[in-house]
């Protein structure tokens, strides 16, 4: 929040009643915090600011995903963007990225419906109401980070078209990126 110059009084409003939440808190408590915090962000901040904040959160940037994307970058360095995207799509849990006619990229995850959100915050937690799509910009940032490495090009998140959390598992997660 500080990186995005959110004033302290606004930050306090966003985190109100959840000051004791930490990485060690129970999953249900963390999930409740994120739902409340995102709802407050949606009310207190403009959508572009919310999207930028959440996109920059991008978790899971390392590990086996990073190794797989670096391998694609190396092995496909002379290949077309379509071939690189197809290679990314072969990596488990990295979505199904497609180049659109307008040269944006759409990443789709959970295309068959009934998709359970893989976010560690919500994994194993029963969510009975839609979660703001703003929350899912973190996941968009995660995929953007890894796609940039594999493609060896800078991407910008344009939008989250749909998400399993926001649609209560009726729609896939779909993120759109612009090539910079």
Mean pLDDT of 168-172: 88
Report d(CA 175, CA 12) in Å as an integer: 30
88 occurs within a structural domain: yes
34 occurs within a structural domain: no
51 occurs within a structural domain: no
Strand residues in 36-169 grouped as ranges (E):
98-99, 104-109, 155-162
Q: What is the mean pLDDT of the chain?
A: 93
Q: What share of the chain is helix, strand, coil (3-state, %, to 5)?
A: 45, 15, 45
Antiparallel, parallel or unpaired: β 155-162 and 98-99: unpaired
29 occurs within a structural domain: no
Query: Which pLDDT does position 113 carry in this prediction?
Result: 64
148 occurs within a structural domain: yes
Total domain count, the chain: 1
Q: What percent of the chain has pLDDT over 70?
A: 98
Query: Which pLDDT does position 120 carry in this prediction?
Result: 87
28 occurs within a structural domain: no
Give the 3-state secondary structure of residue 158.
strand
Asked if the model's pLDDT at residue 91 lies above 70, the reply is yes
Asked if the model's pLDDT at residue 1 lies above 90, the reply is no
**Range(s) of the domain holding residue 133:** 58-179
Instruction: Note the pLDDT tens digit of each residue in 105-138.
Output: 999 988 766 678 888 888 888 888 999 999 999 9
Strand residues in the chain grouped as ranges (E):
98-99, 104-109, 155-162, 173-179
Residue showing tokens 């572009």: 48
Report d(CA 84, CA 1) in Å as an integer: 34
Q: Which of 43-52, 89-98, 102-111, 122-131 has the lowest mean pLDDT?
A: 122-131
7 occurs within a structural domain: no
Instruction: Note the pLDDT tens digit of each residue in 56-87.
Output: 998 888 899 999 999 999 999 999 999 999 99
> Does pTM surpass 0.75?
yes
6 occurs within a structural domain: no
The DSSP output letter for 45 is: S
Report d(CA 147, CA 150) in Å as an integer: 5
Query: Which pLDDT does position 144 carry in this prediction?
Result: 97
């Amino acid at each position: 929040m500080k990186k995005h110059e959110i004033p302290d009084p606004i930050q306090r409003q966003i985190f109100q009643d959840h000051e004791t939440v930490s990485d060690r808190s129970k999953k249900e408590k963390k999930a409740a915090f994120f739902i409340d915090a995102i709802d407050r962000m949606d009310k207190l901040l403009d959508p572009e600011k919310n999207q930028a904040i959440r996109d920059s959160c991008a978790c899971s940037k390392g590990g086996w995903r990073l190794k797989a994307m670096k391998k694609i970058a190396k092995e496909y360095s002379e290949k077309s963007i379509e071939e690189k995207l197809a290679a990314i799509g072969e990596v488990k849990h990295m979505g199904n990225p497609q180049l659109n006619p307008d040269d944006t990229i759409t990443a789709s995850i959970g295309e068959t419906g009934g998709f359970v959100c893989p976010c560690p915050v919500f994994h194993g937690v029963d969510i009975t109401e839609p979660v703001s799509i703003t929350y899912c910009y973190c996941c968009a940032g995660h995929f953007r980070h890894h796609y940039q490495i594999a493609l060896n090009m800078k991407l910008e998140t344009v939008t989250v078209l749909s998400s399993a959390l926001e649609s209560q598992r009726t729609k896939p997660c779909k993120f759109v990126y612009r090539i910079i």
